[in-house]
C-alpha cells in the first residue's frame, strides 16, 4: 500500500487505496467529515460521507479526536478544495485507537511542548528535523568508512576527565565515584596506536550549568583520531566531513529542507576550503571592530559571532593561547605561546561545531599541564603509556552533531535537534 506522500500525485487519481495513519486535523460538517490523516511521509485529507460508509465508520469518524490512529480506504480524487490538492473519498473508515483529548493545541508554549515532548515529536517540524538528523548520522558514518577509518567505541563510564572536573557527571559505581564520559578522546589516543585512523559516534556528557540555545548536557559527539598526521591534515578532514554532510542532506532531504525553509543551494555551497584565521588575527580583527578583547582569553560567544561577520561557510580559528587550552594540546614549535589547535565556527548560529588539535607528544609537558590543573596523575597513567610506547604524531577532533543539525536546519534552539533533549533544567520525559 502506498504511503501518503506517494498518493499526492496524478498517478493515483481514481485509484482505490488504503492508508494507515494518525488524525492530524478533523472537522465535521453535517453528514460530511473532513479528516486530515498523517503518516511518516505526509498528510492527506480523507472525506467521510455518511452515505458512502457503514454507519459505525461514520460515527467513529465524527467522534475520533486528533491523533487517533486510523485505517482509511477509498478512492483518490484530485480536488482543489483539499489541502495538497488531492483527497481520499472514503469507502471505509476504521478507528484503530481512539485518542484522548490531545494536550497540544493551537496555543502552545515552549514549556508545554517540552513537557509533551513524547507527543510533540509527532509534529511536522520535529519529524522533518529528525529525518535530517538521521541523514547527518548516516553521512558521518559514510564519510569515515569510505575514507579508511575504523569505527571503535570507548567507555561511557570513565575514571578520568578530559575537559575539566567541574563539568563531570558523577556516577556511583559500586560505592566508588566515577564519571560519565565527556569525550572518547583519551581512549582514542590509545586506540589510534593500533588502528591508525579511527572514529566514533557516541553521547558525551557535560554537567555545565549553562542555559543557552546551544548547550545540551547530553549530546552526540562524532570524534575522529588519526596517527602520523598533524593539525593541517586534521582540519582538512573536518572540512571534508562537514561538506559531505551538507551535500548528503541537500541531496536526500529536499522536502524536509523546503518545509524548514532552508535553501539546499546554501548547503551545496559548503565545499572546502573554509575561511581560516589564527587566533592572533581574530583578536586583531575584533579590536579593529572596537571590541574590548585581550590576547590570552578564549573567544566568547559574542566575539565568535562578531568574527563570523559575512562568512557563509564555517570559519576555522587556529592557534589559541596554550595557557587556556586543555593539557593534551601541544605548543606550536614556531610560537610556544600558542597551541596547535582549531575550532570550526558555524555561520548563522555563530558557534563552535568542531574543536580539535594535534596531540602533545611530550610526556613532560602533559604531566606539567595536568599538575597545573590539579589532577591526580595516577588516574592518567594508562593514558601516558600512549606516549611511553612508541608515540607518534597524531591529531583528532570532535564535532557536536546537534549543533550541526541546528545549523543545517536553521533551528533557533539546539534542543530541537535531538528528540529528547537533556538540559540543566530538563530530564523529563
Q: Which of residues 147-166 bind RNA (CB under 7 A)?
A: 163-164
- Which residues neighbour 305 within 8 Å (Cβ) at sequence distance 6 or greater? 350, 351
Q: Which residue has the cell 538540559?
A: 423
Which one of 225, 229, 239, 343 is in contact with RNA (CB under 7 A)? 343
| Min CB(389)–RNA separation in Å | 26
Residues 24 and 38: beta-carbon distance below 8 Å: yes
Q: Write the burial class of residue 50 (CB in 10 Å: 0-12 exposed, 13-18 middle, 19+ buried).
A: middle
Scanning 245-253, 279-287, 292-300, 381-389 for contacts with RNA by CB under 7 A, the matching segment is 292-300
Task: State in angstroms the smallest separation of the CB of 382 from RNA.
Answer: 21
* Residues 29, 223: Cα–Cα separation, whole Å: 56
Residue among 92 and 264 whose Cβ is closer to RNA: 92
Angle made by CA atoms 15, 16, 17, in degrees to the nearest 5 = 110
For residue 351, give the nearest of 411, 293, 297 by alpha carbon.
411
Here's the x/- map for RNA, 230-249, by CB under 7 A: it reads as: --------------------
Site for RNA in 345-364 (CB under 7 A): 351-355
Omega cis (within 30) before 429: yes
Site for RNA in 194-233 (CB under 7 A): 206, 208-217, 219, 221
Q: How many residues belong to the site for RNA (CB under 7 A)?
A: 75
How far apart are the C-alpha atoms of 276 and 232, rounded to whole Å?
11
Q: Pick the closer one to RNA by CB: 115 or 252.
A: 115
User: Pattern 48-87, binding to RNA, x per CB under 7 A?
Assistant: -xxx-----------x-xx------------x-xxx---x
When asked if residue 372 is in the footprint of RNA (CB under 7 A), the reply is no
The footprint of RNA on residues 296-325 (CB under 7 A) is: 297-298, 300-302, 304, 324
DSSP result, 6-66: HHSSGGGTT-EEEEEEEEEEEEEETTEEEEEEE-SS-EEEEEEETTTS-HHHHHHHHHPPT
> Among 403, 405, 409, 411, which residue sits at the site for RNA (rule: CB under 7 A)?
403
Q: Is 373 in the site for RNA (CB under 7 A)?
A: no
Among 71, 114, 119, 285, binds RNA (CB under 7 A): 114
Amino acid at each position: 500500500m502506498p504511503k501518503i506522500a506517494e498518493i499526492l500525485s496524478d498517478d493515483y487519481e481514481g485509484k482505490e487505496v488504503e492508508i494507515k495513519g494518525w488524525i492530524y486535523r478533523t472537522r465535521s460538517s453535517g453528514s460530511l467529515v473532513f479528516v486530515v490523516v498523517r503518516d511518516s511521509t505526509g498528510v492527506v485529507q480523507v472525506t467521510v460521507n455518511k452515505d458512502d460508509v457503514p454507519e459505525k465508520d461514520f460515527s467513529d469518524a465524527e467522534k475520533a479526536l486528533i491523533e487517533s490512529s486510523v485505517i482509511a480506504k477509498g478512492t483518490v480524487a484530485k480536488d482543489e478544495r483539499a489541502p495538497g490538492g488531492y483527497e481520499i473519498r472514503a469507502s471505509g473508515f476504521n478507528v484503530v485507537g481512539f485518542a484522548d483529548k490531545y494536550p497540544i493545541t493551537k496555543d502552545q508554549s515552549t514549556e508545554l511542548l517540552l513537557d509533551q515532548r513524547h507527543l510533540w515529536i509527532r509534529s511536522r517540524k520535529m519529524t522533518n528535523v529528525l529525518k535530517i538528523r538521521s541523514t547527518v548520522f548516516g553521512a558521518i558514518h559514510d564519510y569515515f568508512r569510505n575514507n579508511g577509518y575504523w569505527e571503535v567505541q570507548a567507555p561511557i563510564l570513565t575514571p578520568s576527565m578530559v575537559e575539566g572536573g567541574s563539568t563531570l557527571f558523577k556516577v556511583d559505581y559500586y560505592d566508588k565515584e566515577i564519571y560519565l564520559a565527556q569525550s572518547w578522546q583519551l581512549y582514542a589516543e590509545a586506540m589510534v596506536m593500533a588502528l591508525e585512523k579511527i572514529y566514533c559516534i557516541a553521547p558525551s556528557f557535560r554537567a555545565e550549568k549553562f542555559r543557552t540555545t546551544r548547550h545540551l548536557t547530553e549530546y552526540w559527539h562524532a570524534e575522529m583520531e588519526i596517527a602520523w598526521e598533524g593539525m593541517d591534515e586534521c582540519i582538512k578532514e573536518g572540512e571534508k566531513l562537514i561538506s559531505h554532510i551538507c551535500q548528503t542532506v541537500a541531496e536526500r532531504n529536499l522536502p524536509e529542507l523546503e518545509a524548514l525553509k532552508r535553501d539546499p543551494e546554501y548547503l551545496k555551497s559548503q565545499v572546502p576550503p573554509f575561511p581560516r584565521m589564527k587566533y592572533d588575527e581574530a583578536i586583531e580583527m575584533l579590536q579593529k571592530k572596537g571590541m574590548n578583547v585581550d590576547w590570552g582569553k578564549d573567544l566568547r560567544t559574542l566575539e565568535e559571532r562578531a568574527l563570523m561577520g559575512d562568512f557563509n561557510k564555517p570559519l576555522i580559528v587556529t592557534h589559541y593561547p596554550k595557557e587556556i587550552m586543555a593539557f593534551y594540546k601541544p605548543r606550536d614549535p614556531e610560537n610556544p605561546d600558542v597551541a596547535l589547535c582549531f575550532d570550526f565556527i558555524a555561520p548563522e548560529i555563530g558557534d563552535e561545531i568542531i574543536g580539535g588539535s594535534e596531540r602533545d607528544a611530550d610526556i613532560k609537558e602533559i604531566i606539567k599541564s595536568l599538575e597545573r590543573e590539579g589532577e591526580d596523575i595516577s588516574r592518567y597513567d594508562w593514558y601516558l603509556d600512549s606516549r611511553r610506547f612508541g608515540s607518534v604524531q597524531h591529531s583528532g577532533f570532535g564535532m557536536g552533531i546537534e549543533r550541526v543539525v541546528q545549523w543545517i536546519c536553521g533551528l533557533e534552539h539546539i534542543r530541537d535537534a535531538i528528540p529528547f533533549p537533556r538540559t540543566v533544567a530538563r530530564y523529563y520525559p
